[in-house]
Amino acid sequence: MTNENTKQTQTNTSGDIQQTDVVVVGAGHAGIEAALACARLGVDTVLFTLSLDAVANMPCNPSIGGSAKGHLVYEIDALGGEMGRAADRVTLQSRTLNLGKGAAVHAKRIQADRAKYRLLMKHTLECQDHLRLMQAEVTELLTERDEKTGKSRISGVRTRLNESWLCKCAIICTGTFLDSRIFCRRGQLSSRSGRIAPRGTIV
């Protein structure tokens, strides 16, 4: 999850220092489930996102489920996750795909109200005990060396605001736009960007 732009520093904290048990970086599908799972186990958790307005932001085609994805939604549901529950509450249209084929490839897929899904997920995160939702870009992973094993481990993260968050565990869910670029006008224009508005991540 790192690239050449990402700094990994031995714990050398400056600026404000905060502490938590778990840091989750990224509030897309993956980060939301990870953060909720930790918080629901009673673990103090901090979830970072680039923008509070883009929590649970879905692509231009806001579908949930479908071939090779529907079973994941059911598995998340079985494990007590949020995606399926939220999808049920914001469904605009629902159908089972591939009914003309064998049962192995039948797949439920819903089209969601994209704006409502975002608001519902943000509300769920905000109401969850043991969970804090923060708008800040994580720019560095802090590491420390274990004296016994000699191996390095992540000991925290630092944000662009120069806040250090020390943690026992960091879960990196920075998603689909890793150091991404967007090309317009047949490649004549390009800039660092992700889906519609969000920038690509450097962590």
Site residues for ligand FAD, 23-52, by CB under 6 A, read 25-31, 48-50
Site residues for ligand FAD, 55-94, by CB under 6 A, read 59, 61, 63, 69
Taking CB atoms within 8 Å and a gap of at least 24, the contacts of 120-123 are 120/56, 120/86, 120/89, 120/90, 121/32, 121/55, 121/56, 121/82, 121/86, 122/52, 122/55, 122/56
Among 138, 142, 154, 171, binds ligand FAD (CB under 6 A): 138
The CB-of-102 to ligand FAD minimum distance in angstroms stands at: 23
What does the alpha-carbon distance between residue 19 and residue 173 come to, in Å, rounded to a whole number? Answer: 20
The CB-of-199 to ligand FAD minimum distance in angstroms stands at: 8
Measured at CB, which residue is nearest to ligand FAD? 28
201 binds ligand FAD (CB under 6 A): yes
CB 93 within 8 A of CB 63: no
3-state SS, residue 160 = coil
The CB-of-148 to ligand FAD minimum distance in angstroms stands at: 31
The CB-of-187 to ligand FAD minimum distance in angstroms stands at: 17
